[in-house]
Amino acid sequence: MTRRETGQRRSEDHPLFGDLPFVEVSYALPDGRGGTFWERDLEYRPPVPPEAVPGDIEKQEFCSWCHPPHYYYVDEPKWCVECRKRFVFSAEEQKFWFEELKFNFHSIAIRCQECRRSQRRGKATKIQLQEASRVVEEHPDDASSLVTYAEAIHAHYSEFREGKLDTGLAAARRALTLAPELHEARFWEAALQELAGRPAKARQAYELFLQESEPVGRCRTLREQALGQLGHDAVVEPAS
């Protein structure tokens, strides 16, 4: 197909970019058929307002028949569909979406950043539980995998308020049977008892964890959490 501009021009008003020019193009097919059509003048660049972030058209993926390129970006006020709070879809974030991530131009932010972070955490938590469950099925007598599974059940229940807490407890106890020195299992037993609404059993398990473990490695952080649950004035002697 051969094509050329006819020299005819027209413009269409855009709510953000103003008058955008179109050029008329004539074309001819090898069989002799032909015609004309209008297309955007992709050489055109409107002036960029001082408060806007310039766009890089070469980095954008879009259909020029459907919409113009992002010549520049401005902050857009939105309402979050989750928390119903007002937020700003910033010009910088839009530029990142459409030029670095190559998102479709129809993509818009419908959640505030806090709700998006929460959504990502939720997805990661579900993946963590699925993977931990798979590993335990393949290696049912691996103590470390059982502890990871118990922790994943705790995280999932904490995030979504659903899950099999007793399955997590069984995994933690099985890990202690297989490897009594794996003190993290005792911590997750306590944490799961707490989620299950059994404060006395949770306290007993936290105290055992503090008695049996030493403040080294990850146990240092878990001990701080256990003391926080018991009250920092709790006096529990670590293992000697």
Burial of 137: CB neighbours in 10 Å, binned 0-12, 13-18, 19+: exposed
pLDDT score for 19: 92
Nearest to 165 by CA among 176, 174, 156: 156
Mean pLDDT of the 110-134 span: 92
* Mean pLDDT (whole number) for 18-32: 87
- pLDDT number for residue 184: 95
**pTM (2 decimals)?**
0.60
Residues 97, 126, 210, 144: is their CA dihedral positive or negative?
negative
Residue boundaries of the structural domains of the chain: 1-44, 49-111, 115-230
Report pLDDT digits (tens) over 70-105.
Answer: 999 999 999 999 899 999 999 999 999 999 999 988
Scan for tokens 């579900």, then name that residue: 126
pLDDT at 134 (0 to 100): 96
pLDDT at 96: 97
pLDDT band at 193 (very low <50, low <70, confident <90, very high): very high
Please report the pLDDT score of residue 138 as a whole number. 96
pLDDT in tens, 210-226: 999 999 989 999 999 99
5 — pLDDT class (breaks 50, 70, 90): confident
At 157, give phi and psi (nearest 5°): -70, -40
Element (H, E) at 10: strand 2-14
Give percent of the chain above pLDDT 70. Answer: 96
Write out pLDDT tens, residues 55-70: 999 999 988 878 899 9
| CATH superfamily to which 115-230 belongs | Tetratricopeptide repeat domain (1.25.40.10)
Best CA proximity match to 114, nearest among 90, 159, 80, 74: 80
Mean of pLDDT over the chain: 90
> Which band of pLDDT confidence, cut at 50, 70 and 90, is reported for residue 137?
very high
